[in-house]
């Protein structure tokens, strides 16, 4: 290919250069002036040729960044297997989307929550460089002063050329009046049943234990390594720090852990430096940082959170500067340069990444009174509606340059998952006025049922993956969110299909529970070769504290009140305590089937944001973050339903005596 050709040019050039020097090196002083001129002309051309060839080499993207303007958004790709492992939550949630390892052809051998959710516990030395004394570089470098960081954040807001923050006159008091119920319920969702209350208190204790150890050993870092008792930074967040802090804000608040919440709030106010200059996952920064700051603002009304999130939101806009408006997956938060993941097929963007921005960006427009954020995500929807979809399905890879599908791989797990989730949630968050999102969701669900939903020989319902018309009878842990997705949309489809959707949601959730044979489940499980919801490959057997199965338990409980979902959730609590709790936090495990537990030394930030929050809500009354008022983003950050008729009117829509 072109890379090999460039390498050959380079070798050939150096060969001729060496030959020329050997021939003329010893007698160069005797050359005539004309001969010297010819020699220099030839040498100049050769050097130019060799230097230009560097730009065709596979690793040349970093060279290009040196010489090309950082304000331009270059259609290049970058990434490595470590990037993929790091990149793989719910988008990185499947070993394929890692939240695993995907080849340049888009094949996966081991997910990014669209690609993002697998922590990099391999080759850790590459991401946390240490000096001779064993300290990380971050620990020995002087940190920028807190006041300097805060002032620079404010300066970004006030001096924006794009004007994305032209008006921040959002009326928080009016917003509160537009809620149907108090966010934290009458008594913080306290259940009347003593056993359920005891179980909820246990989950709260787990959160405090995880938080206290993070604070003791990894404060300010992104995640805790509980076995080695130190912090993990990683390379998903472009120099941003404190992912576990931002991800935990709302969890601490709704659990009533106010001392811990106030510590987190103080860190965000004084130490969250948004003036980073690194390479960040657009998807991960959006769902964790933007989502976390938005929910903290809506729950508390603290203007500091709003200021922070508006600064950060504006830094994400350059990723949309592509011929189609489809954002690239990686952005430098300082320069605005964006590019695609190196492992993504043909420089494509990922469905679960560019399709998991809508909820947060609509709220950025609400808070700023600037429609640019909504325009960006509506443009994505416009393009998706225009292009042809094979059998009504949405493939996982789309070119941000041509606007065409790159390959026909469809998955409800990694690479695709949260796109579908955000369709139904966009409809619900719009107070059921976004008819376009509703139509897209139910059309997609119909295509999924027709092409992907399968029944195993043992009677288990699962969602297979689709590769150009050929089914791969595998379901990822990330796809287990779909039970919850289907049930929250059951009431708003065709009336005659309501019971069908309830049954489908229950069947999928049951299948995911069956994959939890040890009460914790593998990253992916199969239904071929005699397997029934079992991981047949060693590389699929790990569990990294993922929330998706518990997420579906919570939604199924809220909408059916079948007690088995609380029992299944308690099974998961006991398994987490037995297998994942260590002396200094919680850790994922490498093989859910092994008799002897091997820990991966990583306490994921989404464990604090999602897994423990969903468990706490499962054992709480329904009036704690009621679904009539709140929609959870794919990192479980609650965002309020936007009731425009109320917000633009004079008063609230509910009895004011219920508001606090």
Catalytic residue positions, numbered? 284, 417, 523, 548
Q: Which residues, 6 or more positions from 23, have their beta carbon under 8 angstroms from its beta carbon? A: none
Return the biggest CA–CA distance within the chain.
101
Reference 234, options 101, 406, 85, 442; nearest CA is 85
Q: How many helices (H) and strands (E) does the chain have?
A: 25, 22
Reference 379, options 322, 456, 330; nearest CA is 322
Q: Which residues, 6 or more positions from 379, have their beta carbon under 8 angstroms from its beta carbon? A: 320, 325
Task: Give the length of the chain.
Answer: 660
Crossing angle between the packed helical segments 358-368 and 291-300, to the nearest 10 degrees: 50
Instruction: Measure Cα distances from 633 to 290, 295, 418, 653 in Å.
Output: 10, 10, 9, 24
Q: Which residues, 6 or more positions from 527, have their beta carbon under 8 angstroms from its beta carbon? A: 454, 456, 460, 462, 464, 473, 474, 475, 533
417 by Cβ neighbours in 10 Å (0-12 / 13-18 / 19+) ranks as buried
Structure tokens at 642: 């936007």
How far is residue 406's CA from residue 106's CA, in Å, rounded to a whole number? 10
- Contact assessment for residue 281 and residue 237, using Cβ atoms and an 8 Å cutoff: yes
Reference 115, options 414, 344, 425, 524; nearest CA is 414
Q: Is 596 among the annotated ligand-binding positions?
A: no
- Give me the residue label for tokens 């299948």: 511
Strands (E), 50-90: 77-78
* Residue 322 φ then ψ, to 5°: -125, 165
- Contact assessment for residue 287 and residue 633, using Cβ atoms and an 8 Å cutoff: yes
| Rg of the chain over all Cα atoms, to the nearest angstrom | 26
How far is residue 216's CA from residue 292's CA, in Å, rounded to a whole number? 22
Residues placed in the known binding site for Ca(2+): 634
Residues placed in the known binding site: 634
């Amino acid at each position: 290919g072109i890379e090999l050709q460039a390498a050959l040019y380079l070798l050939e050039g150096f060969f001729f250069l060496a030959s020329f020097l050997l021939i003329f090196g010893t007698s160069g002083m005797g050359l005539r002036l004309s001969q010297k001129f010819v020699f220099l002309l030839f040498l100049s051309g050769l050097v130019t040729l060799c230097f230009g060839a560097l730009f065709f080499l596979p690793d040349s993207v970093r060279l290009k960044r040196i010489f090309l303007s950082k304000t331009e958004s270059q259609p290049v790709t970058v990434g490595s297997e470590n990037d993929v492992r790091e990149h793989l939550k719910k988008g990185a949630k499947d070993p394929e989307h890692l939240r695993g390892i995907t080849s340049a052809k888009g094949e996966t051998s081991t997910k990014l929550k669209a690609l993002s959710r697998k922590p990099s516990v391999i080759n850790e030395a590459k991401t946390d460089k240490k000096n001779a004394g064993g300290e990380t570089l971050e620990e020995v470098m002087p940190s920028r002063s807190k006041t300097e960081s805060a002032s620079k954040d404010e300066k970004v807001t006030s001096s924006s050329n794009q004007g994305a923050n032209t008006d921040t006159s959002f009326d928080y008091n009016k917003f509160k009046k537009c809620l149907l119920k108090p966010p934290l319920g009458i008594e913080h969702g306290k259940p009347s049943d003593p056993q359920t209350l005891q179980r909820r208190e246990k989950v709260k204790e787990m959160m405090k234990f995880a938080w206290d150890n993070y604070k003791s050993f990894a404060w300010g870092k992104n995640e805790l390594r509980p076995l080695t008792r130190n912090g993990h930074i990683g390379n998903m967040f472009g120099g941003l720090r404190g992912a576990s802090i931002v991800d935990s804000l709302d969890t601490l608040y709704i659990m009533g852990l106010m001392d811990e919440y106030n510590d987190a709030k103080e860190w965000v106010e004084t130490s969250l430096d948004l003036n980073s200059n690194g390479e960040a996952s657009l998807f991960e920064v959006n769902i964790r940082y933007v989502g976390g700051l938005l929910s903290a603002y809506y729950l508390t009304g603290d203007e500091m959170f709003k200021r922070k999130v508006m600064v950060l939101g504006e830094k994400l806009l350059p990723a949309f500067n592509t011929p189609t408006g489809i954002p690239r997956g990686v952005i430098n938060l300082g320069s605005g340069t964006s590019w695609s993941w190196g492992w993504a097929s043909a420089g494509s963007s990922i469905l679960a990444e560019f399709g998991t921005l809508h909820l947060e960006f609509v709220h950025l427009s609400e808070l700023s009174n600037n429609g640019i954020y909504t325009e960006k995500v509506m443009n994505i929807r416009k393009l998706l509606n225009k292009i042809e979809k094979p059998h009504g399905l949405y493939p996982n890879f789309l070119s941000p340059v041509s606007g065409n599908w790159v390959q026909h791989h469809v998955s409800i797990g990694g690479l695709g998952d949260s796109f579908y989730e955000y369709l139904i949630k966009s409809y619900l968050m719009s107070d059921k006025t976004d008819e376009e999102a509703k139509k897209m969701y139910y059309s997609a669900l119909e295509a999924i049922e027709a092409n992907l939903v399968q029944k195993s020989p043992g009677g288990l319902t699962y969602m297979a993956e689709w590769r150009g018309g050929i089914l791969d009878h595998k379901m990822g842990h990330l796809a287990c969110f779909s039970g919850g997705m289907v049930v929250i949309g059951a009431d708003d489809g065709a009336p005659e299909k309501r019971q069908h959707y309830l049954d489908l949601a229950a069947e999928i959730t049951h299948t995911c529970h069956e994959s939890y044979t040890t009460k914790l489940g593998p990253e992916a499980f199969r239904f071929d070769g005699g397997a029934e919801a079992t991981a047949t490959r060693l590389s699929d057997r790990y569990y990294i504290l993922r929330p998706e199965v518990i997420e579906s338990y919570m939604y199924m409980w809220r909408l059916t009140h079948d007690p088995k979902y609380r029992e299944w959730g308690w099974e998961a609590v006991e398994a987490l305590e037995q297998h994942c709790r260590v002396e200094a936090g919680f850790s994922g495990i490498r093989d859910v089937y092994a008799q002897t537990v091997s820990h991966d030394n990583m306490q994921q930030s989404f464990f604090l944001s999602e897994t423990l929050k969903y468990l706490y809500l499962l054992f709480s009354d329904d009036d704690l973050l009621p679904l009539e008022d709140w929609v959870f983003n794919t990192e479980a950050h609650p965002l309020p339903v936007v009731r425009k008729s109320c917000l633009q009117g004079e008063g609230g829509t509910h009895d004011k005596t219920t508001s606090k």
